[in-house]
Structure 1
């Protein structure tokens, strides 16, 4: 795929996955966080490890994906 313009790559990604790259990345980060949460890592540490700028952004992304907060997910 070398030499593709960013817009072309973006369209192809959307066609193949059904979502934008940023949406896919957000979901991948939230799903990746499940392992750390299940190991008992504090939510703030999980947010930081998964690349979120702040805990609120992580909690909002988690809630959007799973419908509950990370603190309630494993209770």
Structure 2
């Protein structure tokens, strides 16, 4: 049985057109690789080691619009 890993929520600034594209890809079962890679890089930047691929959660309604990803991280590992 797999243990649940801690999760970090990442919000990435975007624009409306890109956000719509990411949502359409997600709904069609696809992946927007640039934003997924950016979410992973943000987790590393925060000093954590990703334990799995970032999962697209949705977008915010604010300005600027943000892409929201959840990323599982390894417990107790930080790189600062």
Relative to the length of structure 2, the TM-score reads 0.27
**Which has the higher Rg, Structure 1 or Structure 2?**
1
Please identify which structure carries the higher strand content: 2
Which structure is higher in RCO with an 8 Å CA cutoff and minimum separation 6? 2
Relative to the length of structure 1, the TM-score reads 0.28
